[in-house]
Amino acid sequence: MMTETPCLGCKLANRKIDTHTVYENEFVACILDLAPLNEGHILILPKRHYHDVDDLDEATASEIMKASKMLSKLLKVQYKPDGITIIQNNGVFNDLTHYHMHVFPRYHADGFSWVEPIDSTKAKDRLKETAEVLSTSLNQLNGNA
């Protein structure tokens, strides 16, 4: 699934551009974010090109999760944060257009927050129905229909 012209993420993951690498193996590169939310903000990038989480092969997905666990432990020991945030933006919200996972230390007063939008569609009132629809759809996707 490698692109003809490597994207910025491919270049970063494969050291075609200077990075501040914290860890790497044959599947992933873990580099410091150039615009860190807090000191120690790390990006996990696969070395092969993938755009979204559902594009990842099993081996790469497994290595990303192993790296996120290892880096979380590292950040806890090094920075003694109040917590760790792990986040991945998909689709049009993936500004790098290359799969990447953020792992960064969090502190009560760091200003980073999750802002819940107004539930204008009243989705909270339909949780049971939504669960049934998604469960049925998942069974169909997995060939269990």
Q: Is residue 20 part of a domain?
A: yes
Whichever domain contains 100, its CATH number is 3.30.428.10
Q: 87: which strand partners?
A: 102
User: What does the pLDDT read at residue 12?
Assistant: 95
Domain of residue 85, residue span: 8-114
Q: For 25-73, what is each residue's pLDDT tens digit? A: 999 999 999 999 999 999 999 999 999 999 999 999 999 999 999 999 9
pTM for the full model?
0.86
Q: What does the pLDDT average to over 99-117?
A: 91
Q: Is residue 58 part of a domain?
A: yes
Q: What does the pLDDT average to over 109-122?
A: 84
Give the number of domains in the chain.
1
Q: Is residue 2 part of a domain?
A: no
Asked whether residue 3 carries a pLDDT value surpassing 70, the answer given is no
SS3 letters for the chain? CCCCCCCHHHHHHCCCCCCCEEEECCCEEEEECCCCCCCCCEEEEECCCCCCHHHCCHHHHHHHHHHHHHHHHHHHHHHCCCEEEEECCCHHHCCCCCCCEEEEEECCCCCCCCCCCCCCCCHHHHHHHHHHHHHHHHHHHCCCC
